Structure 1
Amino acid sequence: MFSSPRAPRADSWPLGWVASTSTAIIACALWQQAPGWASLVVALVASACAVWMLPTLRRPRGLAAATVALLAITVTVAVGETATLFSVRRDWSAWSAGEREDRAQRVAASLTDVASTLRRVAEERVLDTLSVATPPLEGAVESALLVFRNGALVARAGQTRTSIMPGAPVGVRLVDGAFHTSLVARARSADGRVEAVAVALVSSAPPADRFARPLLRTLSGRVDVAHTIIESPDSTNVAAGSTVVVVPDGPNRLARVRALSFSEGETQLSLLQRARARTNLSLGLALLGMLIGAWRRPARTGQRVAAAAAAAVRARDRGRATHRVVERVLPV
């Protein structure tokens, strides 16, 4: 059985802890270059050794404990990212189909929610013509509310990129334009004199998307407009490697969401970049904590140089990571 290490003299340098922590950091940096299970096993074992060596450190040990905790976070995130990457490589077709289905369903659910909100706002507005008009949607999505009386525009709030004229049938429908696609909800008073129109921008095509704030840009996760198309429910466009989800509106159909496949190379590159981004902060802070712990007295010049060398290795590996990722995913 292993026994806990005995605390050394107060003037000793924590060689075991620094070595374990440095090894874990370098292993994680190597994982960022080429994600794999071998480097993660090394990082996990080294992190466990760093935990075991904590009692050998001089008090206070809060910084050292925080450093080990950051390493644990890095390794935990790396395990999940590695599992995702290996699942993509193992069965690309199944993973791609699942990703398309999830993306299309998320967009369809958001369209349903937005349509419900627009309908409610328009119906409430025709019953309350005295309150100040405000955009129907809060947040980043472009939306607008227009109120017509006897065919004349009497109130407007927000921004719309779709031409709106009075007199169209009530209800919610999808309106396609040259660059912009919007949901438009109309309601009319019982006497037909007041008409309220609530509009929300759901999709914009390049290059117009640079200056617009459509719904697709606000959704969590990666929703690329070039690979996620919101179109008329009457559309018959079908492409190989795509998933189509119909958005219902009661007994009618409101829209179609067509999710196209990313290429396998695009997907792997995106996942590799995401893996690095999700581990950079915790790993960088762990490196800083290790350096501070290693440079504390009674560290000597040689010991500080050794700790700085470990940091230099981590920095060098990080600098190579981007080029290595591109070469692996998009060979030249």
Structure 2
Amino acid sequence: MINIIEPRFFEEEKQAIVQILESHKITRGEWTKFFEESFAKYLGVKYAFTVCSGTVALFIALKALKVEGERVIVPAMSFMATIDAVYLAGGIPIVVDVDEYYTMDPNQLEDAVKRYNPKVVIPVHLYGQPADMQAINYLSEKYGFVVLEDAAQAHGAEFFGKKVGSLGHLSAFSFYASKNVPMGEGGVIATNDDKIAKEVKKWIDFGEHPAFNVRITEFQAAIGAIQLKHLDERNRRRREIAKRYSESINSSFIHPTEREGAYHVYHLYTLRHKERDRIISLLKENGIDARVYYSYLLSELRGAEHLPLTNAERFKKEVFSIPVHPYLTEEEVEKIIHSLKAVEVFV
């Protein structure tokens, strides 16, 4: 089976793990400090706080923003953690539609902002595609809400030359095993804002304020730091594979496109087809892992209030993703392209 996601680790990671074991310093050590500093520098922000998962990163960010009893706008398409973090932090989620790039629709967002007066808006850079941060930040300045980027799937993505995660007031990342920077579990809250950074620290540093133990281990930090070193080259490989797919796949499939100014990092290469389920079955029979991300809308999961979700309702029935990870061989890429061409005969 050609896996849809395949994290890989090499001698450099192995040596780092052995070094940590021999040092007996397995938490709150130099690797954690180094990873936080490296990630902040990579994004071009002042602060990067490590936590134990992307979900916790969103949750802590929302607690720092004091959203209890406040409305928070999220897009219809994302992993469930985006809306769950809002509920867990005491916020009231409002769900809006997505645009043709599968990210938050800025036009409907403005309607929702006028109607609900949210404290926070969470654009999600879904599948590695940056949301329209120019439009969202313009609305933030106009209406005064805070922008919390959910960048869990977009390590290294850029919008007009700036890294996602540095475009809003703060951001949340995940380092789950499937991500472009995989370290098993882990997350980061990033920001340039001194006041926000101070509030975040209150929730993760024990002391005068009740806090959580959400630390990562030195093992995770070392793996993350080493993976980060290779992120750009591996993202380039993802983009090369995505380009091959887009140039080769028949027009009966709707393939992903990049919005103007975007540098898409293809955490997932997501196609659309009305015979999605049949195509997935045929691909799996041919040894190619294909999956649906996501078959639900966030509004459906928890019964959240929402605006009309015309695009998202259609997309959820058609989207499916194929392997695009950087370790695919040329033979595997060709097999995937050939298989997609072949399944069209049967659908």
Per the shorter chain, which TM-score range?
under 0.3
Looking at secondary structure, tell me which structure has more helix per residue: 1
Q: How does the TM-score come out when normalised to structure 1?
A: 0.21
Of structures 1 and 2, the larger Rg is shown by 1
Q: How does the TM-score come out when normalised to structure 2?
A: 0.20
Looking at secondary structure, tell me which structure has more strand per residue: 1
